[in-house]
A and B are shown apart, each in its own frame.
Chain A
């Protein structure tokens, strides 16, 4: 219960970083934080039904659920791909506009058109 609320708070902090802060690099920080919150939520929920690592040695039973762990392995990889692509796009935007501020970029686009 209280872990879920704290994770929702972490997710909302990342969401605030995406929508409420005007620096593009900080928006990408927000993406990373949201990714992290989702991964922690899945691992936490999957570990509620057991108390052993899912590596089947002799005499191991009552393992945790390995399915969310395998899913979140993929999610972390996709997260770092998203980060790399977003930073490359932010770099190109900086080269063209000279700033990371989303309002100034918007104003420049408005002036051109």
Chain B
């Protein structure tokens, strides 16, 4: 049971880091927090579950959405050829 949750968490966190739309990443991050809260409830830790659900899915989502709204939403980089080019330019 715990292993299923952990695999789901790993898939969601990898998706958070590779997606180009930062807003999708924020939503996946709050899904990670909700899954963690369920996992804490299954592991007999209801206090930590309440905290994680309120903080992770509520407050930190608000802060991230504010930051993305105030700046820019898409991250157009993370392409390996551009990184190689910049490295070659430095030498």
Contacts and interface: CB of A to CB of B under 8 A. Distances in A.
A84 B58 CA distance: 13
Interface string A68-100: 010011001101100110010011001000001
Nearest to A99: B72
A12 to B, nearest CB: 10
A26 B60 contact: no
Q: Is the interface of A mostly helix, strand, loop or mixed?
A: helix
A53 B44 CA distance: 5
B86 A103 contact: yes
A60 B36 CA distance: 26
Size band of the interface chain B makes with A: 35 or more
Contact of A40 (B17, B39, B46, B47): B39
A80 B45 contact: no
Nearest to A47: B43
Interface in B25-54: 25, 29, 32-33, 36, 39-40, 43-48, 51-52
A6 B78 contact: no
Interface string A26-53: 1011101100100110011011001111
Interface of A: 2-3, 6-7, 9-10, 13-14, 16-17, 21-23, 25-26, 28-30, 32-33, 36, 39-40, 43-44, 46-47, 50-54, 63-64, 69, 72-73, 76-77, 79-80, 83-84, 87, 90-91, 94, 100-101, 103
By Cβ-Cβ distance, the 5 closest A-B pairs, closest first, are A6-B6, A47-B43, A23-B75, A87-B67, A17-B17
